[in-house]
Structure 1
Amino acid sequence: MKTYTATHKYARIAPRKSRYVMDMIRGKSVNEALRILQSSNRRAAPMIRKVLNSAIANANQDLGSVAALVIENARIDGGPTLKRFRPGPMGRAMRIRKRTSHITISLAEAQQEGE
């Protein structure tokens, strides 16, 4: 079975925050996942929706209909952390960690009951 994958590397959102959204759509059909992402008001939802639309476009080049696709693998991996500093008490410097994410979505055709 062929899988269709799309990624977004170095997304400027913390992995922990975006995993909440990814957990909502993992294992769902493509249409249902798009509905969930459209109605979600989390900041990661538009980023994940873009990656999902890219994976759908990749699948559409080979397949005629993408309605039978399901999200087979949906991952949020941590990317490099940008380190910034701001003033702290008593003249010290306090570190700020700006985390990044790697968003990966793989689509596959739904399994039939007879198979």
Structure 2
Amino acid sequence: MYQFGAKGQRPVESIVKVVLDMLKQHPNQEFTDSQIERTTRERIIGQPAVVGMLQNNPKIDYDPTTRRYKFRPHYDLRDKQQLLQLLHSRPTLMVDPNLLESYPGIDEDIS
């Protein structure tokens, strides 16, 4: 069941997905509410359902002190070298969607 934002606005889950996708594209950057709005063109300020889902999303780090959001990958990998170290230390590791979200370009490094 979808939660809807303000009158005529898209479902909350849809807005959260857009924001999460944007954060994945900028894995080392932190964004404020207003920066998220400018980048995604989605309204989140004044939308408590959206803000709550973002702040409690396991794939998003939210810092209440700075009020900034950042993508939190399941695997803390930043480059091909770290990927190779992980694969050597865990030879039975399967390539899964969580691994593919680690950093932009990882799919090319795996090939």
The TM-score, its normalising length taken from structure 1, stands at 0.28
Higher Cα Rg, which structure: 1
Structure ranking higher on relative contact order (CA contacts 8 Å, 6+ apart): 1
The TM-score, its normalising length taken from structure 2, stands at 0.28
When you count helix as a share of all residues, which structure comes out higher? 2
